[in-house]
Structure 1
């Protein structure tokens, strides 16, 4: 998307980004509710309305800074952001440890589904006129990229990411308790990976592979 101004880049990315982050959390809330925990519903989080999930800092400020800095540098790199975590009361779940696995999987699954939806929009944009088709095409490209990035990122086996929750749910109880103690270091691990390029090294090959597969479905 070279050639776009900073404002144009923000306009292209902001809608796909907000939906990617917030609907990820909505998916967690929905699956938790299906497995017996109505806490998210009580807090008004059982909704696909992004306004119910937005964190002003994580969903707006940090992603905007990432987009602006990336645009000024000539290309959008890794976009870091988050929504308000969905409150979960594990004591209400039918089978807490097993149900946690499906709750954790729901978020990345939602991102993968959104990537496919944006791929369909990308295909449809090719038949739209230039006035609507070009911005829609750019927005669809952004939607695919953001959602695939979040899909891969959240499946990394690092607590508190969803991948870490999945690993926790699969481990025997004793090992799971020991593994849970690593959560206090999780965000530091992510920050170090981001600062030293390790996250890009991990994500890029999988990102390119998945985007290639999704785009091939359009042919």
Structure 2
């Protein structure tokens, strides 16, 4: 296990404890959520790598992908820096990270599909665990049909930060599962497509995420549909309506 990953985990735990205790709550929430986000990003990529390794790609271990070091990713700028910047300035959960997988070495089509599915499953698990904790234990108050984290309750900053993190993980999981070349959703169905179809779609792969982001930014119906889907999932998980917004407000400690 890499030192870099252990440092990220240690910072996350420190931010979580400080958020729980309420000491320096806004910056503590920033460290807590930021650390959690990148911890799960490392686990997301590890899941891809480990599944590929088990599926027959013997190059995974040699590339160092099994030690949970985010610096091993293919492009540090696209994989780490840009997601970090977008998260800091606006809470936009860009998919980050990238491991090189020799898909030709994966023994079965099902195994190749599972390699792509393994990463988003980490985001789904992180979202599910955080949502369950909030639904069971977070102090909330309701105003008619509208609910929020009770800001007068003990540890409220911790729960608000966790609520924002749950929102991020739901959004990241949805983004990753869109079946566009370059995203994991396409990787899940790619092994089952005809060779000619895969060849035709290969040139789109480097620009898939950019096309999705363009649609989200430039076309209100797409953006609204995405937001509605995220909100519906959070509502199904019995999350406080204002929780993610409260967490985002604390996360942006500089504003």
Q: TM-score, normalised by structure 1?
A: 0.75
CA drift at 1:87:
2.1
Matched, 1:177 2:199: yes
Matched, 1:140 2:162: yes
5+ residue gaps, structure 2, are: 1-23, 140-151, 240-255
Matched, 1:108 2:120: yes
Contact kept? 1:28, 1:104, Cα under 8 Å: yes
CA drift at 1:162:
0.5
Contact kept? 2:217, 2:223, Cα under 8 Å: no
Matched, 1:209 2:232: yes
Note the alpha carbon deviations across 1:20-78, whole angstroms, 9 max, x for none: 322111111121122111322222222456666697534654344334433xxxxxx52
Matched, 1:186 2:200: no
Structure 1: 4+ residue segments shifted above 6 A: none
5+ residue gaps, structure 1, are: 71-76
Contact kept? 1:26, 1:53, Cα under 8 Å: no
Query: Using the alignment, how far apart are the partners of 2:30 and 2:185 within structure 1?
Result: 29
Note the alpha carbon deviations across 1:94-131, whole angstroms, 9 max, x for none: 12x4322111111111110111121244356548xx89
Query: Using the alignment, how far apart are the partners of 2:224 and 2:52 within structure 1?
Result: 33
Contact kept? 1:24, 1:110, Cα under 8 Å: yes
2:50 alignment counterpart: 30
Query: Using the alignment, how far apart are the partners of 1:59 and 1:173 within structure 2?
Result: 28
Matched, 1:80 2:102: no
Query: Using the alignment, how far apart are the partners of 1:52 and 1:14 within structure 2?
Result: 19
1:196 alignment counterpart: 218
Query: Using the alignment, how far apart are the partners of 2:215 and 2:26 within structure 1?
Result: 26
Contact kept? 2:135, 2:237, Cα under 8 Å: no
CA drift at 1:167:
2.9
2:183 alignment counterpart: 161
**CA 33–194 in structure 1, closer or farther in 2 if over 3 Å, else same:** same
Matched, 1:92 2:105: yes
Contact kept? 1:20, 1:111, Cα under 8 Å: yes
Aligned length: 203
Query: Using the alignment, how far apart are the partners of 2:158 and 2:79 within structure 1?
Result: 22
